[in-house]
Chains A and B, each alone.
Chain A
Amino acid sequence: DSGVTQTPKHLITATGQRVTLRCSPRSGDLSVYWYQQSLDQGLQFLIQYYNGEERAKGNILERFSAQQFPDLHSELNLSSLELGDSALYFCASSVGAGSSYEQYFGPGTRLTVT
């Protein structure tokens, strides 16, 4: 158990809908990262927050947005969903925001868009 929790574990929804994925980092970690894992794209970095502020952005679509709240939990919002958004979404957390800080991954949320 990494100490990072993600809810829900599974999510099934229809095209065009909007969903919110939630992540609670390990106690004491200030940095949260979101990753998408799909069969065709592999594991890709989406976005990073550190202590409530966006710090780095990867291949995140404009239909996707995220935020980190004062209690440090984070939410990833996916809207106008398409079949291709079906994937496993991971959240990771670390104490700091640089390479010397190990990222701890949550168990993931499996999103299926039908």
Chain B
Amino acid sequence: GNSVTQMEGPVTLSEEAFLTINCTYTATGYPSLFWYVQYPGEGLQLLLKATKADDKGSNKGFEATYRKETTSFHLEKGSVQVSDSAVYFCALFTAGGTSYGKLTFGQGTILTVHP
């Protein structure tokens, strides 16, 4: 079945530091890949997505590139801010078969950014 593995957290950084959160996946077919962010007390928000190999998703300074050869979709940001403190989820979506309509999530990575 499909699965997503994220790097163990929590991750603690100082403001303006470089961020990488690793994400690798196992899937049949050609999944679409997503990063979602969950701020304290809120629901998930889509941060960025990529639908095919070598696509780069980007939003709010965050980037992730769909690497089919390494089955990875690592999240990066060049300079984090305190306001980026949240839980980040990597997810994949495959349409068709038993995975129709289903998002499969990683376990989430807690990011804390200190001033």
A102 is contacted by which of B46, B94, B104 (Cβ under 8 Å)? Answer: B46
Do residues B44 and A58 form an inter-chain contact, with CB atoms below 8 A?
Answer: no
- Residue with the highest number of chain A CB atoms closer than 10 Å, among B43, B44, B89: B43
CB distance from A57 to the nearest CB of B (A): 8
A44–B41 Cα distance when bound, in Å, is 18
Q: Which of B61-79 contact A (CB under 8 A)?
A: none
Question: What residues of A have a CB within 8 angstroms of the CB of B103 in the complex?
Answer: 33, 35, 45, 103
User: Total number of A-B contacts with CB less than 8 angstroms?
Assistant: 61
Q: Kindly provide the distance from the CB of B9 to the nearest chain A CB, expressed in whole angstroms.
A: 12
What residues on A are CB-neighbors of B17 within 8 Å? Answer: none
Proximity bits, B12-44, A CB within 8 Å = 1, else 0: 000000000000000000011000100001111
Q: Are B107 and A90 in contact (CB under 8 A)?
A: no
Q: Is B95 an interface residue (CB 8 A)?
A: yes
Question: In the bound complex, how far is the Cα of B97 from the Cα of A81, in angstroms?
Answer: 31
Q: Answer yes or no: A83 CB below 8 A from chain B CBs.
A: no
Complex alpha-carbon distance, A19 and B94, angstroms: 31
CB of A2 within 8 A of CB of B100, answer no
Is B32's CB under 8 angstroms from A99's CB? yes
Do residues A31 and B101 form an inter-chain contact, with CB atoms below 8 A? yes
Q: A108 on the interface (CB 8 Å rule)? A: yes
Q: Tell whether, in the assembled complex, residue A4 and residue B105 are in contact, meaning their CB atoms are under 8 Å apart.
A: no
| B45 touches A (CB below 8 Å) | yes
Output the least CB separation between B115 and chain A (Å).
Answer: 28
Q: When the two chains form their complex, are residues A43 and B43 in contact, meaning their CB atoms are under 8 A apart?
A: no
B102 within 8 A of A: yes
Add 5 more A-B contacts to A43-B44, A90-B44 (CB < 8 A).
Answer: A55-B100, A56-B99, A56-B100, A56-B101, A97-B101
Point out residues on A near B: beta carbons under 8 Å: 2, 4, 31, 33, 35, 42-45, 48, 50, 55-56, 58, 90, 92, 97-100, 102-108
Q: Which 9 A-B pairs have the closest CB atoms?
A: A56-B101, A105-B43, A48-B101, A99-B93, A43-B105, A99-B32, A105-B44, A56-B100, A45-B102
